[in-house]
Amino acid sequence: MQITAQMVSQLREQTGAGMMECKKALTEAEGDVDKARDILRAKGKAGAEKRSGRAAAEGVVAAASTAKAHAMVELNSETDFVARNDAFKNLAHELAQLVAETGQSDPNALLDHKLPSGVSARQALEDVLTKLRENIVLRRAVAYPVSDDTVVANYIHTVTNKIGSMVALKCNPSAPSVAEVAKDIAMHIAASKPEYARREDVPAEAVEREKEVLAELTRNEGKPEAAIPKIVEGRLGKFYERVCLVEQPFVRDPSKKISQLLSESGATLVRFDLFVVGQE
């Protein structure tokens, strides 16, 4: 009997098993959907769909580099127990490698690409999902193309693998110590968690909201109303220092700001990304 795409889709909706697993079960059951469902249940392949609605707020961050790109991904699970499982961690690294190979950072599009094993990333994810019996989600990914005038560094907090950062600096890659500076800044990003690169990147509404907070704080301190705008402008510098990477004191030497560190190395900041598992 011919196994149609509609039959495979129907079985996937009923069981949540992977597409290839459904097709194999239908072939074995000679097209009998009910029998194929029982085959999947017996193999432990059914039931994934029921788990897909559960929150996946744990997980790991993984990074990889190829001659084409540098990549970082966040793979989520429901529990930390699964996040520490070798099969889960290996999948995260395979997906990071795939992002670096393809340059594809859209999670949904990435899952249609094949891993070196020959199976699609989607199938590999579904296989691990079924094995570990938890909802597993490729939440986000980023890829920085390799460039002759750019140095890229990443930092993964190896104790938990739940915090990862990546930074790109425009510079002369052969300049002494620039690679080390990039690594230091990547570590700084993971530690200080900036939200923006520079002042001009901060949305106007966020600045206005901060001004309102500072104005009320200053007013509650009993300062004259006429002096409040000037005081707020002065205090706004601390806000930028907190949220903007180039304004932050370098964690390894607070006497220097990141902007000074960049200037001393002859580099300029191109971009950065910070992944903290479970956070926006």
Percent of the chain with pLDDT over 70: 94
Position 38 scores a pLDDT of 75
If asked whether residues 40 and 68 sit together in one domain, one would say no
Q: What is the pTM of this model?
A: 0.74
110 assigned to some structural domain: yes
With DSSP H G I counted as helix, E B as strand and the rest as coil, what are the percentages for the chain, rounded to 5? Answer: 50, 20, 30
If asked whether residues 67 and 117 sit together in one domain, one would say yes
What does the pLDDT look like over 202-225, one tens digit per residue?
999 989 988 888 888 888 888 888
Position 209 scores a pLDDT of 85
Range of the domain at 65: 53-146
The CATH number of residue 67's host domain is 3.30.479.20
Quick check: 154 and 72 in contact, CB under 8 A? yes
Quick check: 129 and 135 in contact, CB under 8 A? yes
211 assigned to some structural domain: no
Sign, CA torsion 196/202/207/208: negative
Structure tokens at 183: 């690594």
Name the CA dihedral angle for 35, 39, 44, 47, rounded to a multiple of 10 degrees.
-20
How many angstroms from the chain centroid is the CA of residue 33? 38
**For the chain, which residues score pLDDT lower than 50?**
48-54
Position 182 scores a pLDDT of 95
What does the pLDDT look like over 155-184, one tens digit per residue?
998 778 899 999 999 988 777 788 999 999
If asked whether residues 38 and 94 sit together in one domain, one would say no
Strand runs (DSSP E) across 66-149, as ranges? Answer: 69-77, 137-145
